[in-house]
Structure 1
């Protein structure tokens, strides 16, 4: 099965992740040490993020996945 990719959605997720990280005053290096997730790669929006990784990021920031996604206008993205 070919992996699907939605560049607009990835950019929105990247923007939200970076905003959360900056709001908490966490560096990319500190986040990597704490979670073993290279958040810098995610913030570049060049790589698909898995649901499991998104859940781990949300757990770190103590928010639900639904709260994370509610600020992202998903309905505007294509359904290829």
Structure 2
């Protein structure tokens, strides 16, 4: 068993919410990288199992709480 658990469905739901938030802010992936140093393109593709610290940093950047972010993930999972 690997050192990290991997849940493809959850990663895809999180990636979809990240992309939706970024689009709603009118930002490109390059904007996010230039402002944060985070390669959000890899995260949005759902291929990277990133840390909660990285997600927290992006939420701060987007001015969204982690609680609200995961509420959106939960809603996305129901659609």
Q: What's the TM-score once normalised by structure 2's chain length?
A: 0.89
Q: Tell me, which stretches of 5 or more residues in structure 2 are unaligned? A: none
Q: Tell me, which stretches of 5 or more residues in structure 1 are unaligned? A: none
Distance in structure 1 (CA, Å) of the matches to 2:69 and 2:38: 17
Q: Which stretch of the first structure deviates more once superposed, 63-72 or 10-19?
A: 63-72
Q: Which has the higher helix share?
A: 2
Distance in structure 2 (CA, Å) of the matches to 1:48 and 1:39: 12
* Cα distance, 1:73 vs structure 2: 2.5
Q: Which position in structure 1 is the counterpart of 2:63? A: 62
Q: Which position in structure 1 is the counterpart of 2:44? A: 43
Question: How many equivalent pairs are there?
Answer: 75
Q: What's the TM-score once normalised by structure 1's chain length?
A: 0.88
Q: Give 4+ residue runs of structure 1 displaced > 2 Å after superposition.
A: none
CA RMSD of aligned residues (A): 1.5
Q: Which position in structure 2 is the counterpart of 1:8? A: 9
Distance in structure 2 (CA, Å) of the matches to 1:27 and 1:73: 24
* Cα distance, 1:49 vs structure 2: 1.5
